[in-house]
Amino acid sequence: METLAAIPWILRHGGEAYAKLGTPKSTGTRLFSISGHVNKPGVYEVELGMPLMTFINDHAGGVTTGKKLKAVIPGGSSVPILTAEECRDVALDFESMAEKGTMLGSGAIIVMAEGTCIVRSLMVLTRFYSHESCGQCTPCREGTPWLYRLIKSFEDGTASEKDLDLVEYVCTAMMGNTICPLADAAVMPTRSYIKKFRDEFVEHLKHGGCPYPAWPLA
Amino acid sequence: MATVTLTIDGQTVTVPAGTTVIEAAKTIGIDIPRYCYHPGLSVAGNCRICLVEVEKMPKLTTSCSTVAAEGMVVHTKNARVKEATRGVLELMLTNHPIDCPVCDQAGECKLQDYYMEVGRHKSHFTYEKTHKPKVVELPPHLMFDGERCILCTRCVRFCDEITKTHDLGLIQRGTHTEIDTFHHRGVDNGYTGNLHEICPVGALLSKDFRFKKRVWWLKPHKSVCPHCSTGCNIFVDESDGEVSDSARGRTRTSTSIGSATKAAINTNSSTPKTAFAAPRTKGSNGTPMAWDAILHGVAERLTKAAQGDGRVVGIASPWLTNEELFLFRRLLTAAGHADVDFRLDDSHTKTTVREDDVLKRADKNPNNSGAALLGLRGTKDARTLLNEVVETGASLLYVLDAHRYETLGLADALRSAAAKAGYVVMHATHDCAVLEAADVVLATPTFAEKDGTLTNYENRVQRLRRAIRPRHDSRTDLEIFVKLLTLAGADVPPIVSASEAFNWMAAQVPALSGLTFGGLPEQGVVVKP
Ligand code: SF4
Ligand code: SF4
Ligand code: SF4
Ligand code: FES
């Protein structure tokens, strides 16, 4: 659909003009749907290569109620998360995202402001993947609910230190071993959340559960 | 034929183009674990236990669904593969009840096997397992356990592709996925015995065999299913040597799935569920008598008949082995001008007729072909012969497998004929009312209790093997005929085994010439009548 939508513009202005948009390797524009803690969530057509922060601040109205940015999921829930620090110099194009070890994916950008519980948001994500698993193949059918329960145990205060390694162990058993990419889609965010926000998981362990206030966040 | 050459675990192997990696590995003795894969079914690739590493491919790949390609370099046992296989197995067991102590599959369970081979010995999973229906009856022959099910869908594919009855399907999704039937109805597609056989775990089990025996006590005996003219190769699994109520049947060739269900359902029920027959004479008022005395009496009658004392009528049965049929004919020849036939009904006209697209044939007897080939066909079938006896009488009426007459609707005709015959001999495995009309009842064993050969629809001569010792005071038809022939002074060698009988018969029957009992190949040999 997105591709088809670009055709009238290309017909009117010519392929060359379209190719000039974007970066040398990521040409043209893309639709991004931005949601979460921004003032003007919505779907935007953006020239590839635009710095992420420019998009968030100048187009999506900036982070809600002037809060500080905490993290961004740049391309749908299945891609590795970016920390606020990483967001500073990343642009909306394929190469730039790849450099940070993540992807533009579906173009669904989720913005999280300071005060968002990373563990809880991962819990929501893993619950989603566990629910979405069709159950056809073993690693995903059995792995996604296990991941969800493990992450939930951090929120509930029932997790122990070795559970962080166990999450990685389950991820290894799932990653790349399934019929379709749904299992990978659950593993990639899980791994990145723990890698980049390990402190917060440890904080949950120390606190015996979630130290953040209940929903709604922020 | 186009071929491809690849390397598996350092061994080079050449296979026909189109062969999957799992099959290519098998040809060089490398056994890759599998649950969902079955050579007789389409590939599902869902269990993921068969993962292997193919060089130059970024991810591990399932060997059951990967076609071998020229120059492929495959590793089935390196550290990466082992790690992945263990991971898959651990995941598979997270929601498995592991109730092996009460599971009939224990001992021949692929979960147990691979767990011992590659599994982890301590599960990391500490949560409550997903609960699903257990102890579900799928009438008439199956028991289902949803928690033991690993959702490999072999059973679903079997019902879709082999029987085409589509009895089973998947319901729910994710961790709640279950195998079920439409509105929980049963599964009765005529091949349910194969369903619990192809289930790699203890999820689909035989109701008859339930809690009967631990499988490691069973001893497999290669045999042939007697329930139709197809003559599928089966194992009769038996325990206790002597008598076994826990015997079961299993298919013998892995690629011919869908065979032998009836035998698989219950090896013991090949005959009516009445008491076994006992040897007796009319004068003994039903009390069993010593075999020697009875056989001497019968032999005397045969000798008399041979001396021209009226008409002799013999009716054979397509349930007897070739050796027995051949000897029966010889016996009647010795008794003089006898009328003989084996046609109890019109089943012999349906010997090659298929009943479905799977395996069953319309002729529900194992040896109509053999009886015809050995010349037991006369000019009149059983009913006509019996009616003739009613009209004109006979000095001797000799009937085999009389316990089948009730179901065949021939019991009344037999009774009327017996009333007119001078002397009536009946063989039977099981007791039944019609035996009262006999002067002599000779008890014979069931198919699982004797050796011999059967000839199937395509004139394939195959071996039947004794799996259990006779459970009642019986003599094989073979033993009885040899003894009677000897007592009657006929020129018959002192045969004691089916092997001797076969070799002796083969020397006299042109179609069998050159064959020996011991030399019969595993899957029999097709002969030209
Ligand atoms: S990986 Fe895909 S096919 Fe396998 S269970 Fe998950 S959703 Fe189904
Ligand atoms: S299927 Fe039965 S024997 Fe196999 S692991 Fe499960 S409980 Fe044990
Ligand atoms: S019942 Fe058995 S054959 Fe069917 S899906 Fe479950 S494990 Fe596989
Ligand atoms: S045997 Fe290959 S995926 Fe199941």
Task: Please provide the DSSP assignment of A31-70 as one string.
Answer: EEEEEESBSS-EEEEEETT-BHHHIIIIIS-SBGGGPPEE
CB contacts under 8 A, B 60-119 vs A, are: 60, 83-84, 87-88, 90-92, 94-95
pLDDT score recorded for residue A5 = 86
Q: Report the pLDDT averaged over residues B76-97.
A: 96
| A217 in a structural domain | no
Q: Looking at residue B135, what is its pLDDT?
A: 96
Of A53, A86, A113, at which residue does a domain stop?
A: A113
Are A156 and A80 found together in one domain? no
Helix (H, G, I), strand (E, B) or coil at B139: coil
Asked whether residue A124 falls in the same domain as residue A75, the answer is no
B151/A149 CB distance under 8 A? no
How many domains is chain A partitioned into structurally? 2
Q: Do both A51 and A104 map to the same domain?
A: yes
Residues A135 and A74 in one domain: no
- Entry field: residues in chain B: 529
Last residue of a domain, one of A113, A146, A172: A113
Question: From CA B107, how far away is CA B375, in angstroms rounded?
Answer: 47
Q: Please state whether beta strands B452-455 and B312-315 pair in parallel, antiparallel, or not at all (unpaired).
A: unpaired
Cβ-contact B52, B74 below 8 angstroms: yes
Are A53 and A133 in a shared domain? no
Which of A96, A97, A104, A108 shows the shortest CA–CA distance to A44?
Answer: A108
Rounded Cα distance, B201 and A81, in Å:
41
- The answer to whether A135 and A141 have CB atoms below 8 angstroms apart is yes
- Using a CB-CB cut-off of 8 Å, the residues of chain B touching A170 are 91, 124
Q: CA-CA distance, B272 to B277, in Å (whole number)?
A: 11
Q: CB–CB of B222/B231 below 8 Å?
A: no
Helices (H), B95-134: 110-118
Note whether A32 and A98 are same-domain residues. Answer: yes
Q: CB count, 10 Å around CB of B204? A: 28
Q: Domain check: are A106 and A153 in the same one?
A: no
The packing angle between helices A138-156 and A182-196, to 10°, is 30
Protein residue with its CA nearest to atom 4 in ligand 3: B155
Window from A206-210, B21-25, B117-121, B494-498 with minimum mean pLDDT: B117-121
What domain range includes position A13?
Answer: 2-113
Arithmetic mean of pLDDT, B291-313? 89
DSSP of B474-507: ---HHHHHHHHHHHTT-------SHHHHHHHHHT
Q: Which of B141, B268, B133, B234 is nearest to B196 (CA)?
A: B141
The lowest-confidence range among A76-90, B221-235, B479-493 is B221-235
Same domain, A160 and A194: yes
Q: Taking 90 as the threshold, does the pLDDT of residue B243 lie above it? A: no
ipTM of the complex: 0.91
Best residue of B85, B120, B156, B175 to probe chain A, by most A CBs closer than 10 Å = B175
Which residues of chain A have a Cβ shorter than 8 Å from any chain B Cβ? 130-139, 141-146, 149, 166, 169-170, 172-174, 176-179
Tens digit of pLDDT for each residue in A118-165?
999 999 999 999 999 999 999 999 999 999 999 999 999 999 999 999
CATH of residue A190's domain is: 1.20.1440.230
* Distance from Cα B450 to the centre of ligand 4, integer Å: 41
User: Is pLDDT of A110 > 50?
Assistant: yes
Least confident of A52-61, A130-139, A197-206, B357-366: B357-366
| Percent of chain B topping pLDDT 70 | 93
Q: Is the pLDDT of residue B407 over 80?
A: yes
Higher pLDDT, B523 or B499: B499
pLDDT value of position B523: 87
User: In which residue are the tokens 């992945």 written?
Assistant: B84
Cα separation, A25 vs A44, whole angstroms: 21
Asked if pLDDT for residue A216 goes beyond 60, the answer is no
Give the nearest partner residue to B173 out of A135, A143, A176, using CB atoms.
Answer: A135
Exposed / middle / buried, residue B22 (Cβ in 10 Å: 0-12, 13-18, 19+): buried
- A145 within a domain of the structure (yes/no): yes
Ligand 4, atom 3, lies closest to the CA of: B45
A136 and A100 together in one domain: no
Does position B257 have pLDDT exceeding 50, yes or no?
Answer: no
pLDDT digit string (tens) for A48-102?
999 999 999 999 999 997 889 999 999 999 999 999 999 999 999 999 999 999 9
Q: Which pLDDT value is given to residue B221?
A: 87
Say what the pLDDT of residue B279 is. Answer: 87
| A123 falls within a domain | yes
Q: Looking at the domain assignment, is residue A218 inside a domain?
A: no
How many percent of chain A have pLDDT more than 90?
Answer: 85
**Is A213 part of any domain?**
no
Q: What is the pTM of this model?
A: 0.90
Q: How many CA atoms does the CB half-sphere of B82 hold within 13 Å? A: 8
Residues A109 and A7 in one domain: yes
Whether residue A215 lies inside any domain: the answer is no
User: What Rg do the C-alpha atoms of chain B give, in angstroms?
Assistant: 27
A7 and A92 in a single domain? The answer is yes
Helix (H, G, I), strand (E, B) or coil at A141: helix
Q: B385 vs B261, which has greater pLDDT?
A: B385
Residue, of B252 and B513, whose pLDDT is higher: B513
Apex A108 CA angle, A168 and A101, nearest 5 = 45
Quote the pLDDT of residue B242. Answer: 60
- In whole angstroms, what is the distance from residue A201 CA to residue A195 CA? 10
In a domain, A214, yes or no: no
- Centre of ligand 1 to C-alpha A135, Å, is 6
Interface of B with A in 254-313 (CB under 8 A): none
Q: Is the pLDDT of residue B209 over 90?
A: no
Q: Are residues A8 and A107 in the same domain?
A: yes
**Model pLDDT, residue B269:** 41
Query: Of all residues in chain B, what percent carry a pLDDT higher than 90?
Result: 72
pLDDT at residue B256 greater than cutoff 90: no
Q: Is any Cβ of chain A less than 8 angstroms from the Cβ of B156?
A: no
Best mutation site among B47, B93, B102, B103 for ligand 2 pocket (most ligand atoms within 8 Å of CB): B103
Residue B272: pLDDT over 60: no
Would you say residue B13 has pLDDT above 90? Answer: yes
Per residue in B135-150, pLDDT tens?
999 998 899 999 999 9
Domain CATH code at residue A28:
3.10.20.600
Q: Closest Cα of chain B to A119: distance in Å? A: 19
pLDDT, position B190: 83
Task: Among A113, A148, A163, identify where a domain stops.
Answer: A113
**Is A18 contained in some domain?**
yes
Task: Output the CA B228–ligand 1 centroid distance in Å.
Answer: 43
Q: At residue B261, does pLDDT exceed 50?
A: no
Q: Within 10 A of A70 (CB to CB), how many other CB atoms are there?
A: 23
